[in-house]
Amino acid sequence: MKVLLTGGTGFIGSHTAVCLIESGHTAVLYDNLSNSKPEVVDAIETITGARPAFVEGDIRDGAKLVETLKAYEIDAVIHFAGLKAVGESVEKPLLYYDNNIAGTVTLLQAMKECGVNKLIFSSSSTVYGTPVSLPLTEDMPTGTPTNPYGRTKLMIEEILRDLCEAQPEFAAVCLRYFNPIGAHDSGLIGEDPNGIPNNLLPYVARVASGKLEYVRVFGDDYPTPDGTGVRDYIHVVDLARGHVDALTYAENHAGWEAINLGTGRGSSVLEVIAAFEKACGKKLPYKVLQRRAGDIAANWCCPDKAEKLLGWKAQYGIAEMCSSSWKFERMHTQAK
């Protein structure tokens, strides 16, 4: 299939592009480069031997989307593009609603105009809000996200559900990610946000390489075994494989579907720091700060539905996630 990846040069988009190409698909990357770099296209070519087409564009630019969908004869879209920092979304909700929701509606209108009716959506475990019980399963209620970022993901899921009702031929698979970390084993692509990272792993990696002074731990008074937040961390390569499997599913199934992608096991912030210390061979300084607005104590998933519908299962553990992330950070630091 010819697949358009919005946000295709980003962390998850770039790894998915590699998996798509290795599975025999054609990947076209569409990104405004607000939180990624164009050099990623070179890295994807080095890894796969095939250079994906790259279009610099914003998902709020309907004309550009239509032009791209037509020019590359796109069969399906994997929609990653979106702002994703929980704290920032609390401070700048309008920015998040404009970019994530208005941008998605513009994308869907462009797809309709071009007759493209398969979408894999980059959703999030935040749609569940504060868990009533764990692990989280797809049939648990949504509708109470604790921050505007999570609300944008939930609203987009609802928009897609309504669209599938109105257009029975439309296939929308909402992949509810847990916490993607790690990097490709080549060390050529990984999580490399512009500015100070919002996510734990790239922050820890930059402390390990001396770029940042200490790891920020937001709260150690949560009702968890060591007081720090517990999350279901998933290797980005496992996550990328899940998108290729979801694409195969969407080829044969119309309608709306929500599927968790996680390992089914939670790790605390302190456990992740300890695993990274093992990977990099040194102690990492950290400071406990106040809880961050919009954060919850713990969340992890039941991934059984992904195995049942997609034949997908996570293969990597926290040790591989940290060692691959450290390899990427080392190679990246040397290259600069």
Question: H or E segment at 88?
Answer: helix 86-91
The question of whether 72 is a catalytic residue gets the answer no
Catalytic choice (30, 96, 128, 149)? 149
> Beta-carbon neighbour count of residue 335 at 10 Å?
9
Distance (Å, whole) CA 272 – CA 224 = 14
Instruction: Please report the sign of the dihedral spanned by the C-alpha atoms of residue 285, residue 287, residue 293, residue 299.
Output: positive
Compute the radius of gyration of the chain from its Cα atoms.
19
Q: Is 315 exposed, middle or buried (0-12, 13-18, 19+ CB in 10 A)?
A: exposed
Task: Using alpha carbons, select from 90, 151, 80 the residue that is nearest to residue 294.
Answer: 90
Q: Is 156 helix (H, G, I), strand (E, B) or coil?
A: helix
Question: Hey, which residues are catalytic here?
Answer: 149
